[in-house]
Amino acid sequence: MDYNSRMKLVNVSDYGIKSINYYWARKEQFNLSLDELNSVGIAGDETLVDAQIIPSLLRANEAFRKLGFEMIIKDGYRSAELYDLVRKKRYEIDGKENTDKTFSTGSMPHSSGFVVDVNLISLEDHKEVEMWDKKDWPEGIFMDFYRDKDDSKSIEYQRLQDLLVNNMQKVGFCLGKRREFHHFEYKK
């Protein structure tokens, strides 16, 4: 029996954790049709993960709330078919070089169900927290890009990224091999 047939995928929103399906929410940006998304198992704006990581996600979310934030899970389980579709679309839009820097189609870590992409929402204004400057794409999503910069925005981006990473590590997650500040793999 392969690993995927043993997964119990659940919707994180059913556990009170905010989430979106990254590619459903950005279907126009990536030129993805509803038919294409449906053909690879995406039928709506939900994030699925293996049920085994829910307790750790709940603990992380509670820790973030004590600090004035809550998590939003922006991506979880991806099928191999979704990886292939998105890779092709991203090559068209962002080019092969940028896509290959930020999208792991070889190892497909999200296909395990134990990987999430996370951002924070402020409990004060209920808006997603800006944790990097979009003009720094793609380098700005990598951990420590802002570490040695001394302008106030860069210092704040690094502080927020450190906060996110430290809290996720405390509940059993680690950064992925590419060290994107928002990408976490659960250590089974």
Say if CB 73 and CB 183 are below 8 A apart.
no
- Tell me what pLDDT residue 3 has: 40
Cα 61 vs. chain centroid, distance in angstroms?
15
Which range of residues forms the domain containing residue 159? Answer: 3-186
Q: In the numeric block, which tokens belong to residue 130?
A: 């800006």
HEC assignment per residue over the chain:
CCHHHHCCEEEHHHHCCEECCHHHHCCCCCCCCHHHHHHCCCCCCCCEEEHHHHHHHHHHHHHHHHCCEEEEEEECCCCHHHHHHHHHHHHHHHHHHHHHHHCCCCCCHHHHCCEEEEEEEECCCCCECCCCCHHHCCHHHECCCCCCCCCHHHHHHHHHHHHHHHHHHHCCEEECCCCECCEEEECC
Q: What pLDDT, on the 0 to 100 scale, is given for residue 92?
A: 86
Would residue 95 be called left, alpha or beta, if left means φ above 0 and alpha means ψ between -120 and 50 degrees? left
Overall number of domains in the chain: 1
Q: What is the pTM of this model?
A: 0.88
Structure tokens at 52: 């085994």
The residues with which 173 forms a beta bridge, in sequence order, are 186
d(CA 176, CA 181): 9
Instruction: From first to last of the 188 residues of the chain, give the pLDDT tens digit.
Output: 234 457 899 999 999 999 999 989 989 988 899 999 999 989 899 999 999 999 999 999 999 999 999 999 999 998 889 988 988 888 888 788 877 777 766 778 888 999 999 999 999 999 999 999 999 999 999 999 999 999 999 999 999 999 999 999 999 999 998 899 999 999 97
Residue with tokens 């820790």: 63
CATH of the domain at 51: 3.30.1380.10
119 phi and psi angles, rounded to 5 deg: -135, 175
